[in-house]
Structure 1
Amino acid sequence: MRPGTLLPDVLRGRAALEPERTAYVFVNERAEETGRLTYGGLHARALAVAGELSRACEPGDRALLVFPQCLDFVVAYLGCLYARVVAVPVHPPHRDGVQDSTRRIVDDCEPAAVLTLEAMARELRAALTSPRGAMSWIPVDRIPAGPAPTGIHTAGIHTVDVHAAGLDPTAVEPMDLDPADIAFLQYTSGSTSDPKGVMVSHGNLAANQEMIRRAFGHDRDSTVVGWAPFFHDQGLIGNVLQPLYAGATCVLMSPTAFIRWPMLWLSLISRYRAHTSGGPNFAFEACVARAARGGVPDLDLSCWKVAFNGAEPVRHDTLRRFAETFAPHGFDERALYPCYGLAEATLLVTGSEKGRGARVIEAATEDLREGRYTPVPAGRGSTLVGSGVLPRDSALRIVDPRTGRSLPPDRIGEIWVAGDHVARGYWDRPRESTETFHAEHADDPGRGYLRTGDLGLVVDDELFVVGRLKDLVIIRGRNYYPQDLEHTAQSAHPALRPGGCAAFSVPGADRERLVIVQEVRGEFRRRADPGEVAGAIRAAVVREHQVSVGDLVLTLPGRLQKTTSGKIMRAAARRRYLRDAFDRWTPSTSPSTDPATGLATGPSPSTDNPRERT
């Protein structure tokens, strides 16, 4: 396909040229294939969905996509693209119902239709209403797809091929598209604010898919294995749409299966000889931890050429331990591929170089707190992991957010990005769209830049991301990056839960005070000494960062809210702390504690994160 080809045209072309080539495979938690789609079958089913949408929606209407992790989501999404209906993927409901965030998304985008599974429709009908009135309900799994082709149908697998489908692909033709048309709304995960719908156009998608293809070195033989949720940009754009764009095969599993059995992820990479797979830093950490507890199955990871690591801060220690743990199983540390991106830029902004491995630098810790980079010998400062090289056909600048001017190479500033992959703005939020997507750079007048809100610096054309502008903790005029404080705190004692810490500041009597909220591992809740645990955290933070903890809250797993990609919602933690609404952990049972949990009684938090409910 020519660079810049829109995704509906990509699918239509692949269905015409290679209709029987496998596009997607779905594998359940028992490592069994439960679904398979060819390019021809996908095209036929997407056209059938487009036909249903054309009777329920006008071009530009929104359609909510509410699915568990399954191939019907892929069919529904591409059906929306064919029909020029704006897809809005959302989190599937939990066991206790539809999330408040989903209701807020419905209120914001006012969908005309809901695409889902027949089994989910009844519950959703009772829980969801649109401000625009009645919505059309389309159970995608009930749209006729015809019998499976002879010789490919096996027990438990429903394979759809265009030659065998009882659909006429010519009955509905994909509508003509303008690259500026909105393809879908990617609602941000709300780590610092309420979710906002990022308007991703067809042109944005095509531009970013080409960036990813070049950066990852993909071709039709580059099999991808993925588990990230489809309603998240990494799962949708990186794992689902990139293989389609490259003409490759994608093997998918659910995020719940990964969280419960991290080794299943690596087993699928080995079994399907995947070229590319990855996830946030915690995914690599989880594999190392599981290997330490239960050993490693029979794996051959020599096929894995791009092990991308993004969506949260990349830890050098995690990369090192992952490479050491899985080197005996064929993993090459040169496959480690840190990258950086965000929904407002569709997905990818920068990526490493294939086959190079991660690049690290050592920086003077004190100077980092002053917003400067000073190189020091290894082991004498803070280790920073590069997030990739500067992109071709786009622009990236490190900017002083107060002046809008570029900073010298040794200074830390806000990351600003420009290019065809930068989205159009936020749905129905013109003021915020102007502020975020159309920032004026003093040294580059006439070109609008995306203000990412992330802090970083560029060293030898490599981007190093150091934190979030809004999350920055400032104590006595010194800058502290919360992810560094959190890493120190959760590593201070074996009773503390990795990935369960939030650091932020609150006003004190005469200055800002540092607050750390840390979850305790469930298996330690009865037997750990709170005084010992708290002392270990306080001592570690003072030793590593030369700052005292103003208040330390110890609580049980799941009390900190996270985004869909596993990031701690620090702003939500800060608001909850100021309401004095955190349950304080105590291992003893007393009249003020719940005898079933050992937890001080108090309000129960809500969360939209499936990881916290597993």
Structure 2
Amino acid sequence: MSHGHSVGSSDRPGLLRIEDCLDARGRVVLPPGVNLISLIERNIDNVGDGVAYRYLDHTGSAGVRAVEVTWAQLGTRLRAIGAAIQRVARTGERVAILAPQGLDYVAGFFAAIKAGTIAVPLFAPELQGHAERLETAFADALPTAVLTTASALGSVEDFLGRLPTARRPAVVVIDEVADSEGDRFTAVEIDVEAVSHLQFTSGSTRPPVGVEVTHRAVGTNLIQMILSIDLLDRNTHGVSWLPLYHDMGLSMIGFPAVYGGHSTLLSPTAFVRRPERWIEALSEESRHGRVVTAAPNFAYEWTAARGKLPPEADVDLTNVVMIIGSEPVSMSAITAFQTEFEPRGLSPNAIKPSYGIAEATLFVSTVAPDVPPTVVHFDRTELTLDRAVLVAADDPGAVPQVACGQIARSQWCIIVDPQSAAELPDGSVGEIWLHGDNVGRGYWGRPEETRQAFTARPSSRLTAGSHAEGVPDDETWLRTGDLGYRLDGELYVTGRLADILAVDGRHHYPQDVEATVADATELVRRGYASAFTVPADDAAGVRVVVVAERAARTSRVDPEPSAEAIRSAVAERHDLTVADVRFVSAGTIPRTTSGKLARYACRAEYLAGTFDG
């Protein structure tokens, strides 16, 4: 990995250089005064005329419209919007962004931070199916002000109108703030230990909570990401359709700020409707230099299936780096995507399985720049006993596991027994615990949950081969709630502790059971089955339940033979009895705002009788 060259080119003094962020031991240490706002100001001074962000607007009838903002123009907007915020909110108060994807959102997020307030990146209330998540986040953050756009103002006013009058925040309409407002802006000293923004978790295993991400954590994690993915070349650009209220989406607008590059953004809707738009945007940037993008599993599967391009399409993916994360990474998603786009120049090393979590700002691990994704196979029965035992790919009990690579520089990751808190040796499955300057400060307004998750200490460390080496004994760790193991220098993520099907002393992974369900019958829409446990009627033990969405054009098919096929396949492959199989129509199973199965919410709906009849 190269870290000798500066992130800024030598003829532009003043841009951040990576070596300025490393101490004598090569550890990441943010220089004094470095934060997102100071980095943007360096870009204004040094590459002010360069494009900072480009938004591809696909909503018009005349095709795509590209809107751009330079660093200098962005600086002008931040001062103006920042001044408007300062009129209605004080330092340290929360400012929520309830706006559609676009450049106004980017400007609003950065302006809230520049004004000395705590940004709360959320979404416009018109986002279908997530009203409850928005209400939860709002009730938690209690924002003093809301930033929105003229186009979303109606839905925002309707949403705020339902709040008690005492809690109603002031509203700033970003695109109606005149540049001249900037004259009234009051500069704010940013404390690196203060909270930059509240990142609400995805809500896949419990209601969303706001992670307090500090300025130090943001800066540290961006440097870690740049080093791990080798984004040191200033000619590296980003392309992202990820929602800007999502941690991965925010990182995609954060990293250009570090060294004056630029990011091209699309809306999630534009991507889902026509996934080839993502590919075309990547190809366009790939002609000018390296381009990095990030997306969850489902996006790679969706694009391989629905984003097919005609043979004559002029698409070149030679310089593309693609991060795949969220949920345990699926090799089938990677293979499908690679098969489809290899003829377009996609390198075998392009796709980077990675692991990240909102509580650690985001980025934790990824595979080395010059290696392809790798998959190993473990014995299913041994995995249920929390042991990682390698078997051949064609072994009947083989479970594929994708390596999520090496832990980022200046992060520590240990695997811990969830009950005893003792560090476990490599090859044992346990809870993933993290330590580093990139870890957030806690959960906003939730002291007890903060204490449990952010102040953990291992009860014992390994005497040899400990991955806690270099962290003082009295330092605290983040309990991620994720399960995994380390083997041969790589991290493997097996699932969420809260999602585990714990039956008769064994731990079964829901995604493994759900894959069996989809394999058992054509009636199941692949990727849309949820397996979970509920209390048994006699309360001594649990029952395993499967809720599955019907595949297209199967609404009239009798479900009973398929339910029987599912029961027998799960019994044979996992030695598990499925007590109840429910088939529901497409779109019924709740998903998070990032597209993951919300098993927690699905289980709650099942228990509430939502799927009865």
Aligned to 1:256: 269
Shift in alpha-carbon separation, 1:492–1:330, aligned structure 2, 3 A? farther
Letter in 2 for 1:561: P
Aligned to 1:223: 237
Is 1:110 the counterpart of 2:142? The answer is yes
Deviations 1:489-548 (A, max 9, x none): 12333332222111001222453221110001243223x342343233334323432323
Deviations 1:355-396 (A, max 9, x none): 312122221111111100111223222111011202221210
Is 1:78 the counterpart of 2:110? The answer is yes
The match for 1:144 among 175, 178, 184 is 178
Alignment RMSD: 2.0
Give me the whole-angstrom Cα distance separating, in 1, the residues matched to 2:305 and 2:276.
10
Give me the whole-angstrom Cα distance separating, in 2, the residues matched to 1:421 and 1:296.
44
What's the secondary structure of 1:440's corresponding residue?
A: coil
- 8 Å CA contact 1:111–1:132 kept in 2: the answer is no
- 8 Å CA contact 2:301–2:337 kept in 1: the answer is yes
Is 1:266 the counterpart of 2:282? The answer is no
What's the secondary structure of 2:440's corresponding residue?
A: coil
Is 1:402 the counterpart of 2:419? The answer is yes
Give me the whole-angstrom Cα distance separating, in 1, the residues matched to 2:170 and 2:374.
50
In the TM superposition, what is the alpha-carbon distance from 1:297 to its structure 2 partner? 6.8
Structure 2: gaps of 5 or more residues:
1-15, 22-29, 462-471
Is 1:511 the counterpart of 2:527? The answer is no
Shift in alpha-carbon separation, 1:555–1:227, aligned structure 2, 3 A? same
In the TM superposition, what is the alpha-carbon distance from 1:16 to its structure 2 partner? 0.9
Give me the whole-angstrom Cα distance separating, in 2, the residues matched to 1:376 and 1:573.
33
Give me the whole-angstrom Cα distance separating, in 1, the residues matched to 2:482 and 2:312.
38
In the TM superposition, what is the alpha-carbon distance from 1:299 to its structure 2 partner? 4.8
Shift in alpha-carbon separation, 1:123–1:382, aligned structure 2, 3 A? closer
Shift in alpha-carbon separation, 1:139–1:563, aligned structure 2, 3 A? same
Which range moves more in the overlay, 316-325 or 24-33?
A: 24-33
Is 1:461 the counterpart of 2:489? The answer is yes
Aligned to 1:342: 357
Aligned to 1:135: 169
Deviations 1:275-334 (A, max 9, x none): 211200000100122257x86672534334421100122111221222122111111121
The match for 2:429 among 408, 412, 416 is 412
In the TM superposition, what is the alpha-carbon distance from 1:169 to its structure 2 partner? 6.2
In the TM superposition, what is the alpha-carbon distance from 1:406 to its structure 2 partner? 0.5
In the TM superposition, what is the alpha-carbon distance from 1:575 to its structure 2 partner? 1.6
In the TM superposition, what is the alpha-carbon distance from 1:49 to its structure 2 partner? 0.8
Shift in alpha-carbon separation, 1:221–1:130, aligned structure 2, 3 A? farther
What's the secondary structure of 1:448's corresponding residue?
A: coil
Give me the whole-angstrom Cα distance separating, in 1, the residues matched to 2:274 and 2:371.
29
What's the secondary structure of 2:315's corresponding residue?
A: coil
Letter in 2 for 1:14: N
Give me the whole-angstrom Cα distance separating, in 1, the residues matched to 2:191 and 2:112.
15
What's the secondary structure of 2:498's corresponding residue?
A: coil
Letter in 1 for 2:431: E
Alignment of 1:82-481 (within 5 A): 82-94=114-126, 99-128=131-160, 129=163, 133-145=167-179, 167=180, 172=185, 174-218=187-231, 219-237=233-251, 239-273=252-286, 275-290=291-306, 298-380=313-395, 381-442=398-459, 443=461, 445-481=473-509
Give me the whole-angstrom Cα distance separating, in 2, the residues matched to 1:546 and 1:518.
20
Letter in 2 for 1:382: V
Deviations 1:440-471 (A, max 9, x none): 12236301000000000001111000011111
TM-score scaled by length of structure 1: 0.87
Aligned to 2:465: none
Give me the whole-angstrom Cα distance separating, in 2, the residues matched to 1:339 and 1:96.
29
Letter in 2 for 1:141: D
Structure 1: gaps of 5 or more residues:
146-166, 585-614
What's the secondary structure of 2:483's corresponding residue?
A: strand
- 8 Å CA contact 2:125–2:131 kept in 1: the answer is yes
Is 1:578 the counterpart of 2:612? The answer is no
- Identity between Structure 1 and Structure 2 (%): 32
Which range moves more in the overlay, 319-328 or 484-493?
A: 484-493
In the TM superposition, what is the alpha-carbon distance from 1:98 to its structure 2 partner? 7.8
Give me the whole-angstrom Cα distance separating, in 2, the residues matched to 1:314 and 1:44.
41
Aligned to 1:27: 56
In the TM superposition, what is the alpha-carbon distance from 1:583 to its structure 2 partner? 5.3
Deviations 1:205-243 (A, max 9, x none): 000010111111113211111011011111112x21112
Letter in 1 for 2:600: A
Letter in 2 for 1:483: Q
- 8 Å CA contact 1:62–1:109 kept in 2: the answer is yes
- 8 Å CA contact 1:98–1:127 kept in 2: the answer is no
Give me the whole-angstrom Cα distance separating, in 2, the residues matched to 1:513 and 1:17.
62
Shift in alpha-carbon separation, 1:553–1:121, aligned structure 2, 3 A? same
In the TM superposition, what is the alpha-carbon distance from 1:132 to its structure 2 partner? 5.3
Shift in alpha-carbon separation, 1:395–1:98, aligned structure 2, 3 A? closer
What's the secondary structure of 2:112's corresponding residue?
A: helix
Shift in alpha-carbon separation, 1:288–1:495, aligned structure 2, 3 A? farther
- 8 Å CA contact 1:25–1:33 kept in 2: the answer is no
Give me the whole-angstrom Cα distance separating, in 1, the residues matched to 2:594 and 2:437.
25
What's the secondary structure of 2:198's corresponding residue?
A: strand
- 8 Å CA contact 1:365–1:382 kept in 2: the answer is yes
What's the secondary structure of 1:470's corresponding residue?
A: helix
Alignment of 1:498-537 (within 5 A): 498-508=526-536, 509=538, 511-526=541-556, 528-537=557-566
Give me the whole-angstrom Cα distance separating, in 2, the residues matched to 1:221 and 1:247.
9
In the TM superposition, what is the alpha-carbon distance from 1:139 to its structure 2 partner? 0.3
Shift in alpha-carbon separation, 1:261–1:366, aligned structure 2, 3 A? same
